[in-house]
C-alpha cells in the first residue's frame, strides 16, 4: 500500500529542550488553522499522548521501532494518519539517543528514518549565538540520512535569530522556522514518572491555548506545513492479525481512570480488531465490575498517588478479588499489578490494603527500578497454552514488590542482563512490565482465546 501523508517530526537535541510544549502548542495552532492534525509520540511514553489527545482532542498514539518491525511501524502510522490532514510526530530524548545510550535503534532518528519523515529540530538556544550554527550542523551531518529539514530555536530572541538565520540556511541548508521566547507561565509540572497528567491540571486547556498563540506569533507555520507536505509517499503492507473464531463474543474489562491511565491505544484497538468488546471501568470511581466480563486487564498509572481512595473503595476491591478467585483470566501491568497486592504504600510510605490476590507488599524505593526496554520470554513455561511465548515491553517504576514472580524472563536488549519477573498461571500474567502487543500479537490473542475457553466451560 502506498499513501501520501503530510508528516513532520518535532525532535530535539536533548530532553528538557521544550519539545513537548512546542509540540502541544504547534498541534493547537494547526487545529486553529483547521488542518485536523493527528499526533504520535516516539517511544513508550504514556503521558505526552494524553496532552495531545485529552487536552486538544487530537488523535494520538505511540510509535516505537524497538517494539515493532519497520513495516508494522509504517502501518501503524499510516493506519491512523490516513484519517487526518497532517501528522506530527514528537521525538524522545535527544534525536540520536537510542538503545543502551550508544545505539540509534529506537531513537527519534530511527523512527524518522523508518517512516521517511522530515524533521524539525528544536534547540534550546538560551545563552547561545553563533555556536548554535555549529550545533545544528553537527546534528544534521552526524548521519547522512538525518532527514533534518528545519529548526526551531527555543528561548532565543528574535533579534539574534534575524542575524543567525542566513548563516543557518545558507551554510547548512535547513529552514529556520522561527524562535520561541521564554514562556514559563505555560510550563507543566513534573513528578516521579514524568509530567503531571492533564486531568490533574485545572487550567491545562488555557495553558495550551496560550502557548499556541505564542507559537502562531513566532513560528512560521506555513514553512512547517510545507516541510510536512514534502514527505514522500508512505509504503507498507497490512499485517495479518489473528481473529477470534466466528461467533465468539467476549467482553474484556480494562481499567481506565486517573489512577490507571497508562495504556497504549494500539493495544486496546488490537483487542477490538481481534473481535473482542472492550469495556472500560474505574477502580477509583465505580463500585463494581461491569456485567458479563469474560476477562480483565489492569493497566498501570499512578495507584500510589490514589492509594487511600483505592483502599476506601472496598466494594470494587472485593469484586475484583472474587472475579479472580472464581477463575476470570486477567492481565496486570505495573500499577495494576501493585493494586493486586495485599498492601501498597502511598508516596509518603503509608501502607493501605489493596485487592489481595498477590501475597506481598508494593513499596516505594526512592529510585528507578529496572528501567527501560526488555524482551520477555516464557523460558519454557506455559503462558496461555504457549511454552515459547515472546513479547517486547518496558519497565519504568519507582516502586518494587516483595513478590515479583518468576514466570517470565526479562532480558535487556544489547546486554546480557536478565531477571525473572511476573506471576504466571494458566489464566493470568501479572508483573511490573508493560507489554506492547504488536511486538507479538499472538500474546494477546492467546489471552483472548483463554478467556473464550473459560467462557465455554
Distance CA 457, CA 453 (A): 6
Distance CA 280, CA 132 (A): 48
Q: Residues with Cβ < 8 Å from 185, sequence gap 6 or more? A: 207, 210
Widest CA span of the chain, in angstroms? 75
DSSP assigned state of 283:
T
Distance CA 155, CA 184 (A): 11
Q: Which residues are catalytic?
A: 334
Angle at 184 between CA 179 and CA 187, to 5 degrees: 100
Distance CA 453, CA 67 (A): 29
Question: What percentage of the chain's residues is helix, strand, coil (to nearest 5)?
Answer: 35, 30, 35
**Cell 550545533 found at:** 135
CB neighbour class for 380 (10 Å; exposed up to 12, middle 13-18, buried from 19):
exposed
Amino acid at each position: 500500500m502506498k499513501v501520501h501523508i503530510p508528516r513532520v517530526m518535532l525532535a530535539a537535541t536533548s530532553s528538557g529542550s521544550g519539545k513537548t510544549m512546542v509540540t502541544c502548542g504547534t498541534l493547537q495552532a494547526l487545529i486553529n488553522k483547521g488542518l485536523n492534525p493527528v499526533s504520535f509520540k516516539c517511544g513508550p511514553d504514556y503521558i505526552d499522548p494524553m496532552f495531545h489527545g485529552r487536552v486538544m482532542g487530537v488523535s494520538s498514539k505511540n510509535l516505537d521501532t524497538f517494539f515493532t518491525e519497520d513495516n508494522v511501524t509504517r502501518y501503524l502510522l499510516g493506519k491512523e494518519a490516513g484519517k487526518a490532514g497532517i501528522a506530527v510526530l514528537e521525538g524522545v530524548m535527544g534525536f540520536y539517543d537510542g538503545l543502551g545510550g550508544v545505539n540509534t535503534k529506537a531513537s527519534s532518528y530511527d523512527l524518522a528514518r523508518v517512516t521517511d519523515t522530515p524533521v524539525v529540530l528544536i534547540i534550546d538556544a538560551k545563552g547561545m549565538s553563533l555556536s548554535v550554527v555549529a550545533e545544528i550542523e553537527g546534528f544534521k551531518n552526524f548521519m547522512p540520512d538525518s532527514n533534518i529539514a528545519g529548526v526551531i530555536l527555543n528561548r532565543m530572541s528574535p533579534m539574534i535569530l534575524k542575524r543567525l538565520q542566513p548563516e543557518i540556511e545558507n551554510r547548512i541548508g535547513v529552514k529556520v522556522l522561527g524562535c520561541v521566547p521564554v514562556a514559563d507561565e505555560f510550563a507543566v509540572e513534573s513528578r516521579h514518572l514524568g509530567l503531571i497528567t492533564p486531568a490533574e491540571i485545572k487550567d491545562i486547556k488555557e495553558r495550551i491555548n496560550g502557548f499556541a498563540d505564542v507559537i502562531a506569533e513566532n513560528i512560521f507555520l506555513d514553512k512547517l506545513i510545507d516541510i510536512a507536505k514534502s514527505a514522500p509517499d508512505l509504503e507498507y503492507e497490512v499485517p495479518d492479525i489473528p481473529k477470534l473464531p466466528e461467533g465468539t463474543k467476549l467482553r474484556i474489562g480494562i481499567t481506565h481512570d486517573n489512577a490507571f491511565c497508562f495504556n497504549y491505544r494500539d493495544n486496546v484497538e488490537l483487542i477490538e480488531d481481534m473481535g473482542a468488546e472492550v469495556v472500560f471501568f474505574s477502580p477509583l470511581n465505580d463500585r463494581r465490575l461491569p456485567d458479563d466480563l469474560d476477562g480483565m486487564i489492569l493497566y498501570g498509572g499512578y495507584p500510589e498517588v490514589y492509594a487511600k481512595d483505592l483502599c476506601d473503595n472496598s466494594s470494587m476491591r472485593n469484586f475484583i478479588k472474587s472475579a479472580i478467585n472464581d477463575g476470570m483470566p486477567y492481565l496486570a501491568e505495573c500499577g495494576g499489578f501493585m493494586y493486586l497486592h495485599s498492601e501498597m504504600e502511598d508516596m509518603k510510605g503509608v501502607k493501605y490494603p489493596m485487592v489481595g490476590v498477590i501475597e506481598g507488599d508494593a513499596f516505594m524505593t526512592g529510585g528507578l527500578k529496572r528501567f527501560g526496554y526488555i524482551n520477555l520470554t516464557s523460558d519454557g513455561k506455559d503462558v496461555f497454552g504457549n511454552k515459547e511465548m515472546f513479547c517486547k515491553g518496558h519497565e519504568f517504576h519507582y516502586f518494587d514488590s516483595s513478590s515479583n514472580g518468576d514466570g517470565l524472563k526479562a532480558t535487556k536488549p544489547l546486554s546480557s542482563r536478565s531477571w525473572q519477573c511476573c506471576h504466571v498461571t494458566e489464566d493470568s500474567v501479572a508483573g511490573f512490565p508493560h507489554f506492547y502487543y504488536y511486538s507479538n500479537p499472538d500474546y494477546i490473542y492467546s489471552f483472548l482465546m483463554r478467556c473464550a475457553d473459560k467462557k465455554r466451560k
